[in-house]
């Protein structure tokens, strides 16, 4: 196998607290049944012929359009209005930066590993996630789905990332919290770590790089 020369990291759920916490916060704040958001998403998908979250993350829907369509489906299901204008604020309020992983990646960069960020994200949220960390100081390549018109696990977005970093897929270690994204990376030839929690992921990263974990 090729020597790993670059780390390609996800953002949400790796460099932040788990995304499920944000959705649970929204459901609790708005008194939504557990299945309501998923059901509303399916309603919009069937109506429009495309998953609205995928369209949002590929930049083909604006945040306003996404929330308007989702809110309409929730109103049909629940028989009441839901404050969708508060959705993004509630979601981001629940997300905490994962400093431990960011510091690990910073240390690896200082040791000579090249760094790329590959994120499925929302165009209107760029200022929010970039405000969490000094992103451009750590990552020499940033690939945001909303600005390139494709999203993980589409193989093309991985190919674009390794092309921009200028290395073969086999020289890159990919970190993500979604198994479907990990599978796609491995299919392309990348090494990968499925992030479940900090202790597991950090140990797996050190193992993939052939390094001894630093005592805490």
Contact indicator for 201, 207 with CB cutoff of 8 Å? no
User: Does one domain contain both 14 and 103?
Assistant: yes
Per-residue pLDDT at 215 exceeds 50: no
User: Does one domain contain both 60 and 27?
Assistant: yes
Preceding omega of 153 cis (within 30 degrees of 0): yes
Average pLDDT of the chain, as a whole number:
94
Please give the tally of structural domains in the chain.
2
- Binning the chain into helix, strand and coil, the percentages to the nearest 5 are 55, 10, 35
User: Does one domain contain both 108 and 188?
Assistant: yes
User: Does one domain contain both 51 and 67?
Assistant: yes
Q: What is the pLDDT of residues 73-130, one digit of tens each?
A: 999 999 999 999 898 998 898 899 999 999 999 999 999 999 999 999 999 999 999 9
Percent of the chain surpassing pLDDT 90: 84
pLDDT band at 183 (very low <50, low <70, confident <90, very high): very high
Per-residue pLDDT at 22 exceeds 70: yes
Q: What is the pLDDT of residues 23-53, one digit of tens each?
A: 888 888 888 887 899 999 999 999 999 999 9
Range of the structural domain that residue 65 is part of:
20-93
User: Does one domain contain both 130 and 70?
Assistant: no
User: Does one domain contain both 138 and 87?
Assistant: no
Percent of the chain surpassing pLDDT 70: 97
Contact indicator for 172, 162 with CB cutoff of 8 Å? yes
User: Does one domain contain both 11 and 102?
Assistant: yes
Joined together, the tokens standing for residue 74 give 């929730």
4: DSSP letter: P
- Judged on CB neighbours under 10 Å (0-12, 13-18, 19+), 145 is buried
Q: What is the pLDDT of residues 45-66, one digit of tens each?
A: 999 999 999 999 999 999 999 9
> Whole-prediction pTM value?
0.93
174: DSSP letter: E
Question: Could you give the CA distance from residue 188 to residue 118 in angstroms, rounded to a whole number?
Answer: 15
Q: What is the pLDDT of residue 214?
A: 53
Q: What is the pLDDT of residue 55?
A: 98
């Amino acid at each position: 196998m090729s020597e790993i020369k670059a780390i390609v990291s996800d953002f949400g759920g790796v460099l932040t607290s788990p995304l499920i916490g944000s959705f649970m916060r929204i459901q609790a704040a708005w008194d939504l049944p557990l299945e309501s958001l998923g059901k509303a998403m399916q309603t919009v998908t069937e109506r429009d012929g495309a998953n609205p979250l995928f369209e949002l993350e590929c930049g083909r829907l604006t945040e306003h359009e996404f929330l308007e369509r989702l809110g309409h489906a929730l109103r049909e299901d629940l028989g009441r209005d839901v404050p969708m204008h508060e959705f993004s604020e509630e979601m981001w309020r629940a997300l905490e930066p994962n400093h431990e992983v960011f510091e690990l990646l910073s240390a690896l960069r200082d040791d000579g590993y090249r760094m790329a960020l590959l994120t499925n994200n929302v165009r209107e949220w760029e200022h929010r996630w970039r405000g969490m960390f000094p992103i451009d100081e750590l990552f020499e390549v940033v690939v945001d789905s909303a600005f390139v018109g494709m999203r993980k696990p589409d193989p093309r977005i991985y190919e674009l990332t390794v092309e921009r970093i200028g290395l073969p897929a086999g020289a890159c270690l990919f970190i993500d919290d979604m198994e479907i994204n990990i599978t796609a990376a491995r299919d392309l030839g990348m090494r990968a770590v499925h992030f479940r929690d900090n202790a597991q992921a950090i140990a797996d990263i050190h193992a993939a790089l052939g390094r001894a974990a630093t005592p805490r």
